[in-house]
Amino acid sequence: MLKKRSVIFFTDYGPTSGNGHLSRCLTLKNLFKKKYNVEIITKNKIPKLSGFSKNHNCSVNKFLKKNKKIYNYALIDNYKINLSTEKKIKNICKKLISLDDYQRKVHVSDFVINYSPSKNYKKFYINNNKQTKYLLGDRYNFIRNFPGKLKKTYKKNHINIFLYLGNNPKRKKIIKKILLITKNKKIVKNIYIVGYKNFKIPLKNVKYFKIVSKKKFMSLMETSDILILSAGLSLYEGVFLKKKIFSMCVAQNQKPNYDYFFKKNKIKNIKKFKQFINYSPNKIIKEINSLKKFNNKQYIKNNGLKNIKNLIRV
């Protein structure tokens, strides 16, 4: 039997942040099929069903000091890793891949992926290392996909709201304000909140999800009419589903995403939600129904993942 090849992911995942990083790594893990042992290093333990062969729970520096193994591939999705640490990771693998959202201008990785549709990357990166290949723009967008066919939609006289602003406690005040705004709105049937256990606001129509699978996350978004999202990974998915979206940046790297989709009139600022939800029920339903609906004929395969795979030659 042939010995399996090895891959390791360096992922920023903790109790108050990192759901987007982990979600991206779960998608990129599909590049490496059964012939690979796929490990991951995170500060906190990841959900058991993530499918990695091993989860190292320690700091990156501690791992690098103890590690004696040479991996076939290493992948970095961690903004806390600086250029010096990236060079150390480069020494323990044959090929290094970095995901970057305008965090660092210089890399030593073999491949740098930035799928942002913004064109700022041409001026941003300083490519002093001729061995580094930059996979930039929408062609390498590996997150714009839906895990299954959509359910049939019907005309209705109520709405569902999906709310995800990451899982940092600092955003609790914003979420509480949104809940209070919707408190007496009969048109709102369900409010799905992902990333938090619950709030001390007595609303029977609020359902909390601390951790959900990728499939469940997308299913909740698909069954909702209004999405209130941070401008990270989930924003791409919401725009892909053609929903009514109110958004905000919760990190500096999200600003290019927010600016791009705002200029394209795909999203509204989160501050506009109060004005929208105070419209008459008929006006709310009419505006939501006026959006072009995503349908199963528009379902596309993850071509971004395929394009990445063809370049890195897994």
Judged by DSSP in three states, 293 sits in coil
Mean pLDDT of the chain: 85
Task: State which of 64-78, 104-118, 128-142 shows the largest mean pLDDT.
Answer: 64-78
- CB of 109 closer than 8 Å to CB of 134: no
Q: How far apart are CA 38 and CA 34, in angstroms?
A: 9
Q: Compute CA 175 distance to the chain's CA centroid, rounded to the nearest angstrom.
A: 19
Contact indicator for 215, 233 with CB cutoff of 8 Å:
no
d(CA 128, CA 64): 25
> Which pair of structure tokens corresponds to residue 160?
């569902």
Q: Which residue has the tokens 């640490």?
A: 85
pTM of the model: 0.81
Sign of CA dihedral 91, 92, 95, 98: negative
Q: What is the pLDDT of residues 18-35, one digit of tens each?
A: 778 888 898 899 899 888
What domains lie within the chain, and their CATH numbers?
A: 5-144+302-312 (3.40.50.11190), 159-298 (3.40.50.2000)
| Residue 133 parent element (H or E) | strand 133-136
What does the pLDDT average to over 70-95?
95
User: Alpha carbon of 217 to those of 120, 121, 176, 233: distances in Å?
Assistant: 30, 30, 21, 12
Task: Pick from 86-95, 191-200, 211-220, 251-260 the range whose average pLDDT is largest.
Answer: 86-95
